[in-house]
Amino acid sequence: MEAPLQQLHSKIWEEQGIALWVKREDLLHPTISGNKWRKLKYNLQEAKRLQHDTLLTFGGAYSNHIAAVAAAGQEFGFKTIGIIRGEEHLPLNPTLSFATTAGMELHYTSREAYRQKTDPVYLAQLAEQFANPYIIPEGGTNALAVKGCTEIVSDISIEYDYICCASGTGGTIAGIIAGLEGEKQVLGFPALKGGEFLREEIEQLIQSYSGQRYDNWQLITDYHFGGYAKVKPELLGFMRGFQQEHNLPLEPVYTGKMFYSLIDLIQEGYFPKGSRIVAVHTGGLQGNAGFKERLGIAL
């Protein structure tokens, strides 16, 4: 499978001699979105190899990962169980409604219990309760996910200097860095507040995959817009203009913020003249239906 590269044109960067492409991972698969497909690919193979018939994973009520696992289970013949943070709200939001329609069984858990999601004792309990499912961590991030995300870069056929990517758990950028093996510069745009905590996790993920350490990457932590699920009018305004100008759908949690920050960096003169930049569109567009419902606005 291949995700196309779309070149974006604007005076903002072209006057500075900078070229910008978007790697449209959002187009990889209609329902297993972008980086979530990359992260699931080898996990699905492993689950089959180990003869599991059920996938179990964790996520919030609007999680792109929950939607992706539900769709993957349906397409590849696994039962799916979603451990959802917080209480049930009816009617189901668009993400959870999609997941149940794809066959996922939802189990709600208190925020306290949810925090144990990596605790081996809790995981052993879940394994027993649900008849030995293949357990995928929150956000889909593990060493096999990192392996899958190395293919984001092996898939790029043009010359470039920088690659940009939004980050949540750091699995995607870890795969990009590992795949580049020290070549080029990688910029990560954390969607959460205080993204610096991610640095160490990304280093560990790269280690767990390849045993290597690399220095050709950096996290841009200035523009979080107040964290994960908050949407500021300034960001929405930017997204509207950008989507229209470039015919490129965005969502406000990851890709909208990444492009906002990237354009800012370009305008500040961060990139030397002649730079060629690839920005990865990690997908996540399924989340827009939930924002539309909550905010009463189209994105």
Q: Which residues bind ligand PLP (CB under 6 A)?
A: 34-36, 64-65, 139, 141, 166-172, 254-255, 282-284
Question: Which segments of the chain does DSSP mark as H helices, in order?
Answer: 11-14, 34-49, 64-76, 94-101, 111-114, 120-129, 143-154, 171-180, 197-210, 233-246, 255-267, 287-295
14: region left, alpha or beta (phi > 0 left; psi from -120 to 50 alpha): alpha
Decide whether 35 or 150 has the Cβ nearer to ligand PLP: 35
In whole angstroms, the minimum distance from the beta carbon of 131 to ligand PLP comes to: 28
Decide whether 159 or 219 has the Cβ nearer to ligand PLP: 219
In whole angstroms, the minimum distance from the beta carbon of 269 to ligand PLP comes to: 26
Catalytic residue among 63, 167, 210, 275: 63
Assess contact for 145 and 42: CB atoms under 8 A: yes
In whole angstroms, the minimum distance from the beta carbon of 132 to ligand PLP comes to: 26
Contacts of 240 (CB under 8 A, 6+ apart): none
- Is position 63 annotated as part of the catalytic site? yes
Decide whether 139 or 290 has the Cβ nearer to ligand PLP: 139
Decide whether 16 or 31 has the Cβ nearer to ligand PLP: 31
C-alpha 214/C-alpha 212 separation (Å) is 7
Contacts of 61 (CB under 8 A, 6+ apart): 84, 85, 86, 89, 93, 95, 96
In whole angstroms, the minimum distance from the beta carbon of 186 to ligand PLP comes to: 12
C-alpha 94/C-alpha 97 separation (Å) is 5
Comparing every residue's Cβ against ligand PLP, the nearest one is 284
Number of Cβ within 10 Å of residue 102's Cβ equals 18
The catalytic site residues sit at: 63
